Amino acid sequence: MELLHVLLAASYILLVSFSQSSSLCQGKTLPYMTPDVTKISGRSFDYIIVGGGTAGCPLAATLSKRYSVLVVERGSSPYENPSVLQKKFYGFPLLQTNEFSSVSQSFISKDGVSNLRGRVLGGSSTIGGGFYGRASDAFVRRAGWDEELVKESYEWVESKLVSKPELTKWQSAVKFGLLEAGILPYNGFSLEHVEGTKMGGTLFDHDGRRRISADLLGTGNPDNIVVLLNATVKNIIFHKKGTENEKTAHGIRFIRSDGNASQTYEAYLQQLANSGSWGDVILSAGALGSPQILLLSGIGPKRHLKSFGIPLVLDFPEIGQEMIDNPSISVLVESGPEAQLPDPPQIAGIAEDFKFIVQGLILPISINATIIPIAIKLAFPASKGKLELNNTDPRQNPLVEFNYLAKEKDMEECVKMVQLVERVAGSKSIAGFLKTESNNNSKSPHELREFCKKNVRTFYHYHGGCAVGSVVDNNYRVHGVKRLRVVDGSSFLESPGTNPTATLMMLGRYQGIKILEERHPA
């Protein structure tokens, strides 16, 4: 019960401090936010961003320097919720999920693996582990991005959100455990994606407060941003020419996230001031949300849309394809009698030519109990899946299948992952922290494969569905549709760095600058 008493005491202190500070958050630094759909219905904006998540918030802040921006977020604001924004409560928002209003929404893939997606302003940056690391130089080159602008965009995010962590005793043990297992060299503190063991950046500041992508909205022009909360986009509205739909986005149709799905509202794009051009509807709803919205809007495989009675706008078989999740294996280590507080990752081991990422953390499983997993993920899986609609309610999860370890190459890599993560978990450093005996269990090749089949899990870094090349071009415009872009992790062909958070925030800033440069060339 000691852990329970600590958390309850901290909760009381935080509730007092947040009641004093939340008005400041909502005042000078953040734009106007409302859950009242009637205040937005019928209005027009230069840009409409669907999803106030990890990429959507920096994108909105950047575009607001010159244009009016509507951000539509299906979840709530985190600024009144201390359990979301404090390191002491890391992991607790993931424990309680419900159908329409929890900050994380659970889903189970067709593979049978439980997973989560963010449903709160700031997206997954608001509920994740807060570990911050850039993509590799090779990833940036493969993406074809402007390397100097990428660097500037990362630095813009980092100057506002990122801190150097103060290593906890557990994370120090993880560091030495990784080194004992041969994940060398030790690179110290680094934001770069380099092979070996390193301390990454963190979104938790030195007071234990979580910094999130939504904080970046405060860097924009507050007079140009409106954030609609607790509203879910049902579909995209297209211009009509006579009785035929043109393939040109005109606005969005949305509903209350906790209301009647049949009661819809609309918002529209407007012509840009002093210009004959128009802005865009930009989907930043994530790897599940963005392809789902395209399908609900009539953009996708013709036969699939017909089965749900959705009028066809564009027959586009590639929507929802190339869904990828990084298969993960976790080894739970036993702690001694001492209760352990939740502890997000600060150290990462990057091994086998960047193929394996290893981290250790302490996660709550209830108000007074935690577990201690050492987790490893496969960075470049060959297996791919797909996403399809389950129904026409945008608040419900679509069907997704990732086909974990379906390719023999992935299974072979998983066997190596188990061997490596067990070396880390059995290290003297980990045993010393836990006050237990170090232990290395050896398994036969058959046992290792069976272990992989039974224990494969997610690292929560799934991506794809609107891949660059097949669905969007290099400017993130949807092929065959005017005034429609996708800027989020659904465009990724692989997960960047140790995790995608840093690169998603960078991408929002980067693409915002690119769009401004399109409109106002030097």
Report, as residue numbers or ranges, the catalytic residues. Answer: 461
**Residues 267, 41: contact at Cβ < 8 Å?**
yes
Angle of CA points 371, 372, 373, to nearest 5°: 115
Identity of the residue numbered 425: A
Pairing relationship of beta strands 44-45 and 265-269 according to DSSP bridges: parallel
Q: Is 120 annotated as a binding residue?
A: yes
Helix (H) or strand (E) holding 235: strand 231-241
Report in angstroms the alpha-carbon separations of 199 from 359, 369, 485, 504.
11, 27, 35, 20
**Residues 323, 465: contact at Cβ < 8 Å?**
yes
Q: Is 489 annotated as a binding residue?
A: yes
Establish how many alpha carbons lie within 13 A of residue 326's alpha carbon, considering only the half-sphere containing its beta carbon: 26
Q: Is 468 annotated as a binding residue?
A: no
**Residues 487, 282: contact at Cβ < 8 Å?**
yes
CB-neighbour burial class of residue 408 (10 A; exposed 0-12, middle 13-18, buried 19+) = exposed
Give me the helix-helix angle, 408-425 and 445-455, nearest 10°: 90
**Residues 231, 257: contact at Cβ < 8 Å?**
yes
**Residues 444, 409: contact at Cβ < 8 Å?**
no
**Residues 386, 323: contact at Cβ < 8 Å?**
yes
Q: Supply the Cα-derived Rg of the chain in whole angstroms.
A: 23
Identity of the residue numbered 381: P
- Nearest CA among 352, 377, 400 for reference residue 457: 377
Q: How far apart are CA 189 and CA 192, in angstroms?
A: 9
**Residues 248, 481: contact at Cβ < 8 Å?**
yes
In sequence order, the β-bridge partners of residue 318 are: none
One-letter-per-residue 3-state SS of 279-324: CCEEECCHHHHHHHHHHHCCEECHHHHHHCCCCCCEECCCCCEEEE
Q: Where are the alpha helices (DSSP H) in 347-500?
A: 408-425, 428-434, 445-455
Binding residues: 120, 233, 489
Binding residues for FAD: 120, 233, 489
